[in-house]
Chains A and B, each alone.
Chain A
């Protein structure tokens, strides 16, 4: 049972925090003033976002002729960015859903920010297919709505329509999951505002916290809902990127038409998602003074996942190469030879180096236990994963079946602006989020304090060995259902 904490486990909450300290630490970022670093990063993000918004407006006004796409390379940076962002959006739900099901305690410090990251990343992702339509105001054509064309419906056999449904479901479910977790934390801010007599905060957070009171019944339902949502979100995460990969796999373009795509894309998504979570949490740790909550243990755990998914992605690359040779199809074989040695060889090398080679450095303990090294490697992974999508999309398309239409892709100013701009919008939203909402899931963190707080684990307050008590109490509870109630009941009594 998970309530047994091995002695070799390091504490996840440092600095001998009490429950009240957690409240104060978490509330500080909402109530206090932002520090200098926040304003600097915010200013950069807003300027990038402004460039992005201008480019979006220009694209909408003029059309996608303003991009570098042409007749041969019809999908380029836009779809690369789309897949990149949606991949990044996978780690949030993985952390909060899959790690919840596996009862990993280290998720608690980072799940809130990872979920926020997911939502913003999926929003950025959704922008690109809509812009790519050329007439974004007709985006509702994607929905199965009755129309004047004799009710010509969308084609439900098409992966592009699956995509619309998958991303809509993923975005809305992620938002709901994230906000549900926020409700008790917003209630905490509300009650603090009431004590301090700050009427504006009181009013705003009363509205936001939906009148949460923390009654025992509510908590028990809350936990059940979280568990069910986690159970629903887990297959959802895997389905979304599988469906995205089918946009490619269902096509007949050499280099796309492979059955390995769904697992390969999902792994790549988790890989890039965790890299982005690392980038964000390491930044946030410094900017918001959360050193006691986001510790080297959290970073190391994330590094383990990066090395695992990174190695699997590397395996997928090599499998792909092998399969193209083994298939005996000369178009397939050419597509892969062209990737590695053709005009885009540098993109392929960049992808291989950043995704396959750099994460292997995490085998070295001192590197995976270093904040700086983790930050740098995560940055490389972010770049590498962008190039992976670029390689898949552009190098497969630019040499199509008809050599007379072979061409190259050159991004325009607008292409660059859209990419940089979405990064800017993403960081703007994230920084605003960090100032308005509690960035650490404080209610959950409080519930693990006795299991993972440094003062409890280092023997400062020696935990009593109450094994007999647990047995006694269990006998008193007639309604207990051991199989279903997970391990939860005894979590606390064991201390």
Chain B
């Protein structure tokens, strides 16, 4: 349990240096550099967003091609109605909106599922103060590591150490 993010980062780094596995860290706000300090892999959510955007683009293009060109071409002031390419400029706004729509909703839904943050899920933070002002570092130790970990935690300025 830490009350300062700088101390938390020091503690995490020291533990990692002595090869003690960190189960998880619970923080009230994003601590910058914590993911790299913990050695978490960089999230691939941004790639997902790109894929969703392309899906939206393709879906919108197919829809407009089918409706406006294939199924029911409309004669609007004699403008070309049988060509997708010649109609493309006026399809751009909807192509764009559909891409954004799919990317934004897709990435959020993926995030919520991936982190399992969903309506009805009960929270897993062991101490309610971790959403207020304390950071909690969760370790799963055997007897051999325990004394070393305790020392590291005390040195890095942990405010509170609890055993379970």
Contact = CB atoms under 8 A, between A and B. Distances in A.
Contacts of B27: 214, 216, 219
Interface in A152-210: 152-157, 159, 161-162, 165-166, 168-169, 172-173, 176-177, 180, 183-184, 187-188, 190-192, 194-195, 206-207, 209-210
Given A206-B122, A211-B118, A447-B30, A156 B90 contact: yes
Given A153-B67, A210-B112, A492 B9 contact: yes
A225 B13 contact: no
B13 A473 contact: yes
Given A221-B45, A493-B6, A207 B105 contact: no
B160 interface: no
A211 B97 contact: no
Interface in A195-245: 195, 206-207, 209-225, 227-229, 232-233, 235-236, 239, 243
Contact of A476 (B13, B29, B71, B108): B13
Interface of chain B, main secondary structure:
helix
Interface string A471-495: 0010011011100110011111101
B35 A216 contact: yes
B98 A23 contact: no
B124 A232 contact: no
Given A150-B72, A224-B46, A488-B32, A206 B132 contact: no
Interface string B28-42: 111111111111101
Interface residues of A, number: 82
B161 to A, nearest CB: 19
A405 interface: no
Contact of A188 (B96, B97, B131): B131
B125 A235 contact: no
B94 interface: yes
A217 B42 CA distance: 9
- B interface, how many residues as a size bin? 35 or more
B1 interface: no
Contacts of B79: 157
B26 to A, nearest CB: 5
B73 to A, nearest CB: 10
Interface of A: 18-20, 23, 144, 150-157, 159, 161-162, 165-166, 168-169, 172-173, 176-177, 180, 183-184, 187-188, 190-192, 194-195, 206-207, 209-225, 227-229, 232-233, 235-236, 239, 243, 246, 443-444, 446-447, 473, 476-477, 479-481, 484-485, 488-493, 495
Top 4 closest pairs, chain A to chain B, by CB: A211-B121, A191-B128, A19-B133, A489-B33
Interface of B: 5-6, 9, 13, 17, 24-40, 42-43, 45-46, 49, 63-64, 67-68, 71-72, 74, 76, 79, 87, 90-91, 93-94, 96-98, 100-101, 103-105, 107-108, 111-112, 114-125, 128-133
